[in-house]
Structure formats: structure tokens, C-alpha cells
Amino acid sequence: MTRSDAPVSTIPPTPPPAPRGRAALIIETMPLVVVGLIVALLASLVWLADRREREEAGDGLIRDALWVEQALRFQVDAARDSLERLAFDMTATRPSEEVVAARLRTIVTGHPEIASIEWRDDLGAIRLSVPPDGDGLRPSTAPTHPLARGFAEPRRVDGQAVADLSIPVFEHDVRVGRITAHVHLERLLALYVPWWISQNNHVTLVDRDGEELAHKSALAPVGGALRHELSFDPPLPGVSLVLTAHAGVSNLLRNVLGAGVVGLAVVAVVSLFGLMLHYRRRLAAELSLGEAQALRRAMEESLTVGMRARDLEERIIYVNSAFCRMVGRSAEELVGHGPPQPYWVPELVEETLARHEALGATVLEPISFETRFRRRDGEIFDVQVYEAPLIDASGVHRGWMGSIIDVTEAKKAEERERLQAEKLTRTGRLISLGEMASTISHELNQPLAAIASYASGCLHLLRAGRPGADIEGALVKLDAQAQRAGQVIRRVHDFVRKRDPEFERVDLAALIAALAAFVALDARKQKVEIATDLPATLPAVQGDRILLEQVLLNLIRNGMEAMAGIDPKARRLDIVAERRGSGEGDGETVVIEVADRGSGIAADLAEKLFSPFVSTKPDGMGMGLAICRSIVELHRGRLEFAPRPGGGTVFSLTLPAAPGEDRS
């Protein structure tokens, strides 16, 4: 299919906006300027009105504060004058205690802010107390000057602020006593601050640290309200009178009409400005949309991965050019087409429908699977499909988006690689067989020589006319030797023939013992001692006997050849097998170590020893260990090597024990 078969966008590019003249720009901006001036004028009027209200409210608050300050000062001064007259009369006329008590009661009655009055002598003993219990109040313990006159700094009694008014009593210029009045500041505000002031203001007396001593108010003050502070010292030391307005500093309710006009004007300005921006953005968006569509189309055309989208009813809603080229059909043929699709393989229609049905019933997660498609010309090819949920901008599941990759060539390459590996494995067996030719010929010579000897003896007895001789015993031995020769031939045939791996339970101990006997003759020729350490309880493994035999035989022969250059007395090849693991479950393994006493592996070959065509022998092909590692990995095992202490190399073959193997 050619590229022209794919859908191509026909939206022409949006031209840029035409340049505008100065007159057009003035016409567009003139409404904005006029409305802006109106808004500025109305805002100025509102600001001036608000400022006027703020000034009037401040002046009223100052007037109220001065009125309250004068009223409180008058009452405090009046109480002090009454006490001073009484102190003077007590010195001048020396009235009786009954007269003094009556005058004290009169003062308390005339000044309700005074909680109690005490008359103490020069020694501090109470002569009189009005009321008699003193209302629970006692003088302050703070030291005062003997001649001190007036109020002391307020103190707190049971959480309430009290100011002590002290008037000394003198007789012939000698202080003979003191009259002390306890003034409740809370009562002072409650009695002499009129309701019309407390209705609009929060009236408080505070100390020099700003802590509230007493207050009178109908409501709590609000944030940002007007506040005015006056010093109330004297008469009360360290005390200030504070008035805080209940309402805010301004009252914009009176200007709601002006604010509404301002708001409408602002809306008009914003609307005009928004229309201008919208017009410009629309022109820019049209241009950007054309560029984005062209870019998206270019990206779609450059993709080599096929893209296909289908809705919840299995209809195709989108395909890209790569998918069209892949199946050999145009987008017009595919978009809107429901199942079965024209590119499905007829034999796989039921399987594909079942997969789609299962996909719709599962959790919305991406999945991957392999299948086959058919081109227009009937060619079948393999594909890898990645399906993901198609979610729209509002989060609703609308269908499925699939990415399709043609994996035909990749699968062919994998098959070629597998066949090549099989050929390399068979080649390795043939190489090993060639190296063992002398051993095989010697092993066959022994049974064949015995067969010839027994056959010759039987013929000799028959020709000599001695039928009673032990011909049957000779024939039995002849048959045993013939079977032995046949086993050797079958072993060689199984070793070299091309076949698929056949996994079965393999007794490694028996396999190692058989291999040790098989190479015994070759070991004697090379003057190598082969020592085996095989436990009786070695677990079996699950594997192909012939392939494992090839691995062990290759390791044994490599070990013998590695010791060719050392003293014959030191040539010893150790084959040790042991079980490792917990002995429970599937974690147990079997480890076989083949240790030689050769010169070891050079450092420059250690990292690439298992790579193909890398060999430590001058005439080696470098395929043996590479094939061995492939066989071991096929059995889910590991093939490793390490230097042997004292010289040489230890090759370790680790295989998992067969499942269900008796661990006892």
C-alpha cells in the first residue's frame, strides 16, 4: 500500500492576522479609555465620601472620649474631696466614732463605686470599716509613703480591678491615722458611662502595660475600628481611658449605589478588553491548530508502529498510516468497520472475539499478546499487540487503543538462532566424539576380541566332536560381550544424533560413575588419577541425560588436558558431588565440582571464558564451554569456575534437585 492510501488532513494553514492601522487601533481602544475615566471618577467620589465618613467618625469618638474622661474625673475628684473634708473635720472637731461612721456611710451611699472605707489608726489597727465586713477588701500590701495622698496604682482582688484612695489624718502635723476607700473600677464605668456611649463604643480602662482593668460595652469591638486613648493619670496612676468604636471606620452602605455603578463600569471595561483578547486569541488559535494538525500528521506518518483505536462496540475509530501499510488497506476501508475485521486470520476469528470479550470484562489495565494478521494479498504475519484503555478528558472509558508491531522477522531471527544453537550443540558433541575416538575404539576392541575368542572356541569344540563341552557357558559370555559392544554403539549414537531435549529424572551419582569408567583408559594414557566423592544420598535432577553427560564429559576432558604440562605424579582430577540447601521445599540443589591441578585460567581470559571461540588450548575451537553453559542454563542451573587453592581450576555445576525428590 502506498502512503497516499492513508487519510491526509485537508485543513489549510490559517493565515496570520492582517496588520491593523492606527485609526482602527484608536477606535478599538476609545471605549476602554472612556469607561476607564468614568470608573476613575466614580472611584474618586466613593473614596472622598469614605474619607469624610472616617473623619466624622474620628471626631465623634474624640468627643465621646473627652466626655467620659470628664465625667469619671468629676466623680473620682468628688469622692476624694468628701474623704479629705472628713479627715479635716476629724482633726478639727474630733467627732465621735458614731458620727465618723455615719459620715462614712453617707460617702459610700453617695458614691456607689466605693466598695468599702476603712479608718485605721497610726499603728494600722482598724478603727472603723464601712460596711462592717469591708466587702472582703483589704489594703494593698505594697509599701506607701506615710504622707502619701490620693490613689495608688490599681490592683486586682478576686479578678476585679480595685484602686485604693488613701487620705492621711493629721493632728498637730502628726499623722494619727489614715482613711482608705476601695474604688471598684468596673462599677465606676458602669455607673458613670452613659448607655448611648457604650452602645456605640467599647469603653475600657487599661494599665501602663496595656492590660484591661475594667470595661463597659454593649458589643465587642471589630477589627479595624476607630480607637482613641486618653491618659487618666491623675487621678489613677498609670491608667489610660480607651474608647474603641463598635463599627468599622467607614460605612460603605451609604455608597452602595456608587459602588454598583463602579462595578458595572468595571464589568464593561473587562468585557470590552476580553472581547479584544478573545478576537486575537481566536486568530492565534486557528493558526496554532493548523500547525498542530500538520505536526501531528507528520508524527503519525513517521511512526513505524501501527496504531489502531476501537470503541466499546468493537468498531474501528482510528488507524494511522503505519497500520494501513501493515495490513495493506486504506483508512477508509477500516474506520467504522466492525468485527470480524478484514485483516483477521479466518482460523483465529473465534479466538480473537473471545479475547476481546475477556478484555472488556477485566480491569482497565494495559495488556500484551501475540497473534497473527492477514494482509490484503493473503500473506499471514505475526504481530505483537499492546492494548490500553482509551480514556477521554472527562475520565470515561471510551474504548481501547492498540499498538501493533510486526514481529515476523524477529520471530524468524529467533528460530534461526535456536537452530544455530542446536547445530553448535551437535557440533560440540561431534568434536567430543572425535576426541574420544581412540577410547571408543579400545572399548569396542575388548568386547569384539572376546566375541571372536568365544566364537573360535565354540567352533573348535564342535569340530573336535566334543558336544558335551561347556559350549552353552561360552555362548552366554559371547552374548554378554555382544550386548556390551551394542551399548557402546548406542551410547555414541545417542550422543551425536540430533534430537530435542528429553527431560527425565537423572541419577547424577550413577552418571558420574559411568563417565569416570568411560574415560578411565584415556586417563591412564595421560597418567591422570581420577578420584570421585559421591554421597549415597545425592538427590536426582530433572534433565536430559545425554546433554548433562556431554557437559560433564567436556569438563572432565578439559581438566585432564589442563594437567598435561605438570609432573605426572601430581596429575589428579577430583570429582566431588554434594547436596546443598535446606533440604525442604524446592530450594535444594546439587553441586558437582571438577577440580584439576593445572596452571589455571589466565586473567585476560577469565571474563570471557564462556564466550564462543575463546579457548585456552592452542588448537581448540572455543565452543565447548559456551555450549556447556547453554546446556546448563537450559536446565535452570549455573556453571562457574574459580581458582583452586594450591594451583589449578575448579569448575562448579549447580543444578536444582528434582521436585518431589526424597530428601532423606
221-265 residue pLDDT tens? 655 567 777 777 788 787 887 887 766 544 555 556 666 666 776
Q: Distance between CA 638 and CA 656 in Å, rounded? A: 10
Instruction: Give pLDDT, residue 608.
Output: 67
Q: Which residue would you say has higher pLDDT here, 26 or 381?
A: 381
Least confident of 89-93, 179-183, 516-520: 89-93
- Does residue 591 carry a pLDDT above 90? yes
Q: Is the Cβ–Cβ distance between 312 and 398 less than 8 Å?
A: yes
pLDDT digits (tens, 9 = 90+) for 193-223: 787 777 777 788 888 887 877 777 766 665 5
Mean pLDDT lowest among 109-123, 565-579, 642-656: 109-123
pLDDT beyond 50 at 663: no
Residue 275 has pLDDT above 70, yes or no: yes
Three-class SS state of 476: helix
Render pLDDT for 102-124 as a digit per residue (tens, 0 to 9). Answer: 888 888 787 787 877 877 776 76
pLDDT of residue 258: 60
Lowest-pLDDT range, 164-178, 387-401, 517-531? 164-178
Q: C-alpha cell of 11?
A: 485543513
**Average pLDDT over every residue of 297-308:** 75
For residue 497, what are the CA distances in angstroms to 442, 490, 500, 554, 626?
Answer: 22, 10, 10, 17, 20
Banded pLDDT at 655 (limits 50, 70, 90): very high
CB 50 within 8 A of CB 250: yes
pLDDT of residue 1: 39
Does 623 or 337 have the greater pLDDT score? Answer: 337
Evaluate whether 488 touches 440 at the Cβ level (below 8 Å): yes
Contact 372, 345 (CB under 8 A): yes
pLDDT band at 494 (very low <50, low <70, confident <90, very high): low
Percent of the chain scoring above 70 in pLDDT: 73
Does residue 593 register a pLDDT over 90?
A: yes
DSSP letter for 658, please.
Answer: P
SS3 content of the chain, % helix, strand, coil (to 5): 45, 25, 30
What are the CA-CA distances from residue 638 to residues 370, 629, 635, 648, 656 (Å)? 31, 7, 9, 20, 10
Q: CA–CA separation, 372 vs 354, rounded Å?
A: 15
Least confident of 87-96, 183-192, 246-255, 631-640: 246-255
Cell of 42: 466614580
Split at pLDDT 50, 70, 90, the class of 478 is: confident
Per-residue pLDDT at 199:
76
Residue 292 has pLDDT above 90, yes or no: no
DSSP per residue, 448-462: HHHHHHHHHHHHHHH
Mean pLDDT score, 175-202 = 78
Average the pLDDT over each of 64-73, 328-337, 378-387 and give the range with the smallest value: 64-73
In this prediction, residue 575 carries a pLDDT of 92
Tens-place pLDDT, residues 317-376: 888 888 888 888 888 888 888 888 888 888 888 888 888 777 766 667 787 888 888 888
Q: Is the pLDDT of residue 558 over 80?
A: yes
What per-residue confidence (pLDDT) applies to 346? 86
Q: Which of 17-26, 150-159, 171-180, 566-575 has the lowest mean pLDDT?
A: 17-26
The pLDDT assigned to 279 comes to: 72
Confidence of residue 432 (pLDDT cuts 50, 70, 90): low
Of the ranges 169-173, 331-335, 359-363, 529-533, the best mean pLDDT one: 529-533
pLDDT band at residue 489 using 50, 70 and 90 as cut-offs: low
Banded model confidence at residue 654, pLDDT cuts 50, 70, 90: very high
Let me know if 114 is exposed, middle or buried by CB neighbors in 10 A (0-12, 13-18, 19+): buried
DSSP H helices, 111-200, are 185-192, 195-198
Whether the model pTM is above 0.75: no
Average of per-residue pLDDT across 398-405: 83
Q: 5 pLDDT band (50/70/90 cuts)?
A: very low
Of 78-92, 370-384, 444-458, 612-626, highest mean pLDDT: 370-384
20 pLDDT above the threshold of 70: no
